[in-house]
Amino acid sequence: MGLKIFIDGKFFDKKDAKISVFDHGVLYGDGVFEGIRSYNRKVFRLEDHLDRLYAGLNVVRIKPPMPREEMQAKILETLKINDLDNAYIRVVVTRGIGDLGLDPRKCANPTVFIIADRIKLYPPEFYEKGLPIVTAKTLRNHPGAMPPMVKSLNYLNNILGKMDAIDAGTNEAIMLTTDGHVAECTGDNIFIVKNKKVITPPCEIGTLDGITQKVVIELAENRGLETCVGMLKPQDLYSADECFLTGTAVEIIPVIRIDGTTIGKGTPGDVTKALLRDFSKITGVEGVGY
By residue range, what is the domain housing residue 103? 4-117
pLDDT tens per residue across span 157-171: 999 999 999 999 999
pLDDT above 90 as % of the chain? 93
How big is the CA angle at 140 (ends 139 and 141), to the nearest 5 degrees? Answer: 115
Does residue 106 surpass a pLDDT of 90?
yes
In this predicted structure, what is the pLDDT of residue 22?
Answer: 98
Does residue 240 surpass a pLDDT of 80?
yes
Domain boundary, last residue among 117, 152, 178: 117
- How far separated are the first and last CA of the chain, in Å rounded? 18
Same domain as 206, residue 83: no
Same domain as 273, residue 199: yes
Name the pLDDT band for 237 (thresholds 50, 70, 90). Answer: very high
> Is residue 290 included in any domain, yes or no?
no
Number of separate domains in the chain:
2
pLDDT tens per residue across span 195-220: 999 999 999 999 999 999 999 999 99
Domain boundary, last residue among 55, 90, 117: 117
In this predicted structure, what is the pLDDT of residue 90?
Answer: 98
Does residue 61 surpass a pLDDT of 70?
yes
Q: Which whole number is the average pLDDT over 253-277?
A: 97
Same domain as 263, residue 129: yes
Domain boundary, last residue among 83, 99, 117: 117
| 200 close to 229: Cβ distance less than 8 angstroms | yes
130: CB partners within 8 A, 6+ apart: 253, 254, 255, 256, 257, 266, 267, 268
Same domain as 132, residue 81: no
> Is residue 246 included in any domain, yes or no?
yes
In this predicted structure, what is the pLDDT of residue 21?
Answer: 98
Beta strands, E only, the chain: 4-7, 10-13, 31-39, 42-43, 87-94, 111-117, 131-135, 173-176, 182-185, 189-194, 197-200, 226-229, 242-247, 251-258, 261-262, 288-289
Does residue 256 surpass a pLDDT of 80?
yes
Same domain as 160, residue 242: yes
Alpha-carbon span 50 to 94, nearest angstrom:
15
Does residue 8 surpass a pLDDT of 80?
yes
Alpha-carbon span 88 to 85, nearest angstrom:
10
pTM summary value: 0.95
Q: Which amino acid is at 267?
A: T
Domain containing residue 104: CATH number: 3.30.470.10
Q: What's the CA dihedral at 144, 91, 28, 106 to 10 degrees? A: -100
Rg of the chain (C-alpha set): 19
Same domain as 146, residue 213: yes
Name the pLDDT band for 52 (thresholds 50, 70, 90). Answer: very high
> Is residue 289 included in any domain, yes or no?
no
Does residue 284 surpass a pLDDT of 80?
no
In this predicted structure, what is the pLDDT of residue 204?
Answer: 93
In this predicted structure, what is the pLDDT of residue 121?
Answer: 84
Same domain as 36, residue 178: no
> Is residue 57 included in any domain, yes or no?
yes
Domain containing residue 181: CATH number: 3.20.10.10
Does residue 1 surpass a pLDDT of 70?
no
